[in-house]
Structure 1
Amino acid sequence: MNSPSPDVAAPTASAEPATPRALPSGLAAFLVFYSSGAVLVLETAALRLVGPYVGVTLQVTSSVIGIALAAIAYGAWAGGWLADKRNPRTLLAPALVLSGIATAITLPAVRYAGEVLKGDTASAILLLVAVAVFAPAMLLSAVTPLVVKLQLADLRRTGQVVGRLSGIGTLGAVTATLVTGFVLVAALPSTVILFGLAASLGITGIALGVYLHRQDRATLPGPARVKAALAVLGLVGAGLTMVAPNPCDVETAYHCARVETDPGRESGRTLLLNSAQHSYVDLADPTHLEYAYTRWIGAVADVMAPEGQRLDALHLGGGGFTVPRYLTATRPGTDNLVFELDGGLVALGEQHLGVRQGPDLEVMVGDARLWTARQATDSRDFVVGDAFGHLVVPWHLATREMAADIRRVVRPGGVYVQNVIDYPPLRFIRSEVATVAAEFRHVALVAPPEALAGERGANFLIVASDAPLPLAALRARLDADNEPVSLLSGGDLTDFVGDALVLTDDYAPVDQLLATA
C-alpha cells in the first residue's frame, strides 16, 4: 500500500469554504437599481389594480405605501439572512425569476380576490393590497442585501460599498416612480405594465443565471430548470388572467372605466368608474336626467335662468358630460367650459357617450383647481362642482380657498352648485356647507329627507350665491319631480351645520370626515 507523501498536506473537514466572488461593479449596480425600481413600479400599479374594488382614497393609498414598505423590510431582512447562510450568487437569479412569476400572477390574483373583498373596510383594503404588492415586492427587496454581501470582500470599504449601493437603489426607486407616474400609467394599461415587468424580471433572471452558471459551473444550478419553472408558472399566470373577471372596458390614467347599456332604455348609457356608477347619459334625449342630483342641478339652472336663455357655464369635472348636454339642449348657445382631469374619460365620452366639442362645449384637460385660478373674474353665470376621486370630492377642491376662487369667477347674481356624497354621521357635508357659506352670502342644501336624518348615504347638492336664492321657485321645481326631497336654508341649515369645521388648504381631512366608523 502506498502511504501519503509527507510533503503533501491532506485536506481536512474543517477547511473554510471559498469566499463567493464579487459581482462586476456595473452588474451589481444594475441589479440594485433595477430591483429597487421594480418595487416602485409595482407600488404605483397597485393603486390602479385595487381601485375598482376598494376605491382610490387616502386609506387605500396609505395601505399601498405601508404594505410596500413592510414587504421591503421583510425582503431586506430575509435577503440578508439568506446571504449569510448560502452563497448569494446561487440566490440572485432565482430571486428575480420568482419575483417575475409573482408579478405575473398578481393581476389575476387581485381580480379574483377583489370580487370577494369588494368594499371600503380596513380589512378588505389591507388584504387586497397585500395580494397586489407583498410577495413580488418582498422577493425583489431581497436582491440588494444579496448583492451587498457579495461586494463586501474588503471590510475596509464596507461603508463605501453599502452607501453606494444604497444610493443606487434609492435612485432606481425615484426613477421608476417618475417614469411610471408620468409615462407608463398614461400610456399603458395595468395589464401591459405588470406583464411587461414580469417578463423583464424573468428574462433578467434567466440571463443572470446563465452568466453566473458559466462562471461558477460547479456551484450554480443549471438555468434549464429556472427556464422551465418560469415557463410553466408564467403560462399558469397568463391563463388565469385570460379568465379572470375584468371590471374595465378602458383603463385611463386615473380610472377603470366601463360603459353599460341600460337594459330598460335602449339609448341609455351608464358610466362606471372603478365599478361605481358615475354618470348616466341618454344618447337620444339629452334632457333626460336619470339621477336625482342631476335633476336638482337642472332645477337650479331652470329657476335661475328661463329656458332658452343662454348661460356661460363652468363645470368642475366632466365625467359623462350629462349636465353640459342638458344645458346645451335647453339653452341653445350656452357656453360650457369643462375642466376634466382625466383625458381618457374625455376620449371615452367622445367615443361612447355622444360628447362633441364645438362652439357650445370646450374641454380643458387638467386639474380644476389650477384651471379655475386662470379664469377671469365675473366671467361665469353658473358653476357646477361635480369632481370626484372615486366617491370622494378631492380635498383641494373642497376648501375655503377654492370656494373663494369660485366666488371670484361667478358673476353677480350667478350661482354655484356643488355635488357632494356623504354617509352617516354626515360630518363631511356639514363641513363642506360651512366652508362654502364662509365665502358665499346665501347658501341652501338639497338632499333626500332620510339622508338628512342620518339614515343612509346619498348625494347632497349645495346651492350658493352672493344674491338671494330663488328658494320658493326652486322648491316648486323640486316638488314637480314627484320625489321626496328637502331644501334647507336659513336657520334650518344653520342648525344642520352646527359647529362643523371649515375646511382650508392647511387642514382639510376629507377622507377622515367621510369615514363611517
Structure 2
Amino acid sequence: MPKLAVMITRIPPLWLLVFLQTVVSAASLVVEIVAGRMLAPYVGMSLYTWTAVIAVVLAGFSVGHWWGGLMASKPQDTALRQTGWVLLAAALSTGLAVVVLQSIAGPVLGAVTHPLWAIIALCTGAFFLPSLFAGVPAPVLAQIGANTAPDSGRALGALFAAGAIGAIAGTLLAGFVFISYLGSALTLALVALVYVAMALLSFWLAGRLPRAALLASLISLAFAGYALATPSPCDTESKYFCIRTIDVSDRPDAPVNMMVLDHLVHGSSAAHDPTLMYTDHAAMLDALTLLRAPQAGFTSFFIGGGSFSMPRAIAARGNHGAITVAEIDPAVTRTAARDFWFDPASATVLHSDARVALRQNPTHYDIIIGDAFTDIAVPQHLITQEFFELVRKRLTPEGSYLMNVVDYEDNLQTLGAMLRTLATVFPVVEVWVEQRQPVAGARMVFIIAAGTEATPENSFVTRTPDIKRFAALSESMVTRLMARDSLVLTDDFAPVDRLMGLRAD
C-alpha cells in the first residue's frame, strides 16, 4: 500500500508575521525614496518628480494589495509559497531598476516631449513593478494573522502598525543613511538582498523550500550585482545632488569645467581666467555686483555656491571685504575646490540653508546674491515676502540684493510675482536681461536688482565668454509685468511650479 505524503503546515507566531511585514514595508519605502534620487539626473528634482514617484509607487502598492488579497484566500501554505515567489520577483525587479532606468531614459525623453508625462513614464518603467510586488505580502500576512492568532483584531492591528512603522523606518533610513553612505545602486542591491531573505522566510513558513527558489534567489542577487557594476551617471552622489564635472574645453593647457547638478548646469569656470563668466546669469550678476557695490572692499553673501565662480572672481580681483557663501551641500563645495579652482580659504562657506544662515547670523552685507535653484525654479522659501524682508534686514543701508530668475518669454508669471513681492520690501526694483530680440516662447534668464538706489548705468557690456550687452528693462515695462496679477508670494502660498508652467523644452 503506497505511503501518503503528509505536509504539516507551520503555524507562524504573530511576532514573525509582524517582523516580515515590517521589513518588507521598510524595503518598499527605501525604493520609493531612491526612485526620486535616481530620476533626478534625467528630469530633475521638483514637485512634479516627487508627485509622479508617489503616485506610481502607490499605484503599484494598490495593484499588489489587490493581487495579495486574491492569494490570501488560498490555503496558508500555498499563499505563503506564492508570497515567496512574489518577493523574489520584487528582488529581481528592484535589483534591475538601475539598468531599466538607464536603458529607457534616452528613448522615453526623446519620444515624450511633455516633461510631466516623461517623468511618469520613466518612474513607471523603472519602479512600478518593484512596488507592485512589494504590495502583495500585506493582505496575505494579515489573513494568516487573523486566522491563527487568538485575537484576530489584535493581530490585524499589529500587522497594520508594522506596515506603518516599517514605512517610517524605510523612509528615514533611505533619506538619512543609505543614499548618503551607500548611494542609490548599492541601496537597491541591499533591498534586493532583503527581499530574497524575506522570500526564503516565506518559503520556510510554508513548510518547504523549493530548489527552484534557491536558484531564483541566486539569479536575483546576480542581476542586482550586475546592476551595481553599471556606471553611475554621477561622479558624486551626495545627500542633495547627483554631481558631475564635465570638461568642455578644447585646449588641454587651458581647461574649462562645467558643473552639472542633477540634470542642469550650475556653473562653469576656466582655470586660466577666474574673472571670466561662461553663462549669461553669472556675467550679469558679476557685473551688477561691481556696479552696485556701495564702496571698495564691499562685503558679499552668496545664496548657493554651485561652481563658486563668482566668489572666486571677486577674490581674484582683490580689494574686497568678507565673502560668505551659503552652500547647503558640502559635496558641492568639495567639487568646486577640486575641479573648479575655488580656494576655500578665500571665503567663509556655511554648509547650511541660506535662509537659516541669514536668520542665525546678524552680520550685514553690502551685496547679497541669490543664485539657488531646485530644478529650474528658485526654492519656494527663498522667494517669499518674509524671506525678502530678512534679506533687507541683513543688507547695509545702501546695499543691494541681486537674484537670478528663469522664466519663459510668453509667460513671465514667475518674474512678475517676484517683482511684486520684492516691491513690497525694496523701494527700487530693476530687471536686467540680454539686450536682444527675444525668441518667441524661449526660456529667458533675468537678473533682478533690488535696493534703495537705481544702478548707475542702464546697460553694460561684458564677456560670457562672447561679448554681450545687457540692459535694464524700462520702468514702464517693469510696472506692466507687476500689473499682470496681484499675487504676492508668501511663506503660506508661493506656487512657483505652477507659475513656471509645464514646458516641453
Same fold per superposition (TM over 0.5): yes
> Under a length normalisation based on structure 2, what TM-score does the superposition of the two structures give?
0.91
Number of the residue aligned with 2:32: 43
Structure 1, 114-123 or 73-82: larger mean CA deviation: 114-123
Query: Judging changes above 3 Å, is the alpha-carbon distance between structure 1 residues 508 and 303 closer, same or farther for their aligned structure 2 residues?
Result: same
Query: Judging changes above 3 Å, is the alpha-carbon distance between structure 1 residues 155 and 325 closer, same or farther for their aligned structure 2 residues?
Result: closer
Structure 1, 393-402 or 443-452: larger mean CA deviation: 443-452
Which structure has more RCO (C-alpha within 8 Å, separation ≥ 6)?
A: 2
1:516 Cα deviation after fit: 3.8
Deviations 1:69-119 (A, max 9, x none): 111111111101111135222123222222111110101111111222336
Secondary structure of the residue aligned to 1:483 is strand
Secondary structure of the residue aligned to 2:450 is strand
1:241 Cα deviation after fit: 5.5
For 1:493, which of 475, 478, 496 is the aligned residue? 478
1:136 Cα deviation after fit: 1.1
Distance (Å, rounded) in 2 between the aligned partners of 1:85 and 1:25: 19
Distance (Å, rounded) in 2 between the aligned partners of 1:355 and 1:385: 19
Query: Judging changes above 3 Å, is the alpha-carbon distance between structure 1 residues 234 and 154 closer, same or farther for their aligned structure 2 residues?
Result: closer
Partners of 2:293 and 2:367 within 8 A in 1: no
Q: What CA RMSD, in Å, does the superposition of the two structures yield over aligned residues?
A: 2.6
How many aligned positions are there? 490
Distance (Å, rounded) in 2 between the aligned partners of 1:29 and 1:429: 52
- Partner letter of residue 475 of structure 2? G
Query: Judging changes above 3 Å, is the alpha-carbon distance between structure 1 residues 21 and 238 closer, same or farther for their aligned structure 2 residues?
Result: closer
Distance (Å, rounded) in 2 between the aligned partners of 1:235 and 1:479: 53
1:451 Cα deviation after fit: 7.8
For 1:135, which of 125, 129, 147 is the aligned residue? 129
For 1:29, which of 15, 18, 24 is the aligned residue? 18
Amino-acid identity (%): 26
Do residues 102 (structure 1) and 93 (structure 2) align? Answer: yes
1:305 Cα deviation after fit: 3.8
Deviations 1:262-302 (A, max 9, x none): 23353211001113211101122111111111111111122
Do residues 323 (structure 1) and 316 (structure 2) align? Answer: no
Distance (Å, rounded) in 2 between the aligned partners of 1:283 and 1:159: 69
Query: Judging changes above 3 Å, is the alpha-carbon distance between structure 1 residues 152 and 322 closer, same or farther for their aligned structure 2 residues?
Result: same
Do residues 428 (structure 1) and 414 (structure 2) align? Answer: yes
Partners of 2:283 and 2:463 within 8 A in 1: no
Number of the residue aligned with 1:5: none
Distance (Å, rounded) in 1 between the aligned partners of 2:319 and 2:188: 47
Structure 1: unaligned runs, 5 residues or longer: 3-10, 12-16
- Partner letter of residue 106 of structure 1? A
Partners of 2:90 and 2:134 within 8 A in 1: yes
For 1:166, which of 160, 166, 169 is the aligned residue? 160
- Partner letter of residue 328 of structure 1? A
Do residues 196 (structure 1) and 190 (structure 2) align? Answer: yes
Partners of 2:294 and 2:399 within 8 A in 1: no
- Partner letter of residue 105 of structure 1? L
1:356 Cα deviation after fit: 2.1
Structure 2: unaligned runs, 5 residues or longer: none
* Higher Cα radius of gyration: 1
Distance (Å, rounded) in 1 between the aligned partners of 2:169 and 2:229: 31
1:208 Cα deviation after fit: 4.4
For 2:59, which of 50, 70, 74 is the aligned residue? 70
Query: Judging changes above 3 Å, is the alpha-carbon distance between structure 1 residues 203 and 450 closer, same or farther for their aligned structure 2 residues?
Result: farther
1:438 Cα deviation after fit: 1.7
Query: Judging changes above 3 Å, is the alpha-carbon distance between structure 1 residues 306 and 416 closer, same or farther for their aligned structure 2 residues?
Result: closer
Number of the residue aligned with 2:370: 385
Do residues 364 (structure 1) and 345 (structure 2) align? Answer: no
Secondary structure of the residue aligned to 2:57 is helix
Distance (Å, rounded) in 1 between the aligned partners of 2:188 and 2:333: 25
Q: 1:288-307 counterparts in 2 under 5 A? A: 288-305=276-293
Partners of 2:24 and 2:198 within 8 A in 1: no
- Partner letter of residue 338 of structure 1? V
Number of the residue aligned with 1:123: 117
Distance (Å, rounded) in 2 between the aligned partners of 1:306 and 1:442: 15
Do residues 91 (structure 1) and 82 (structure 2) align? Answer: yes
> Under a length normalisation based on structure 1, what TM-score does the superposition of the two structures give?
0.88
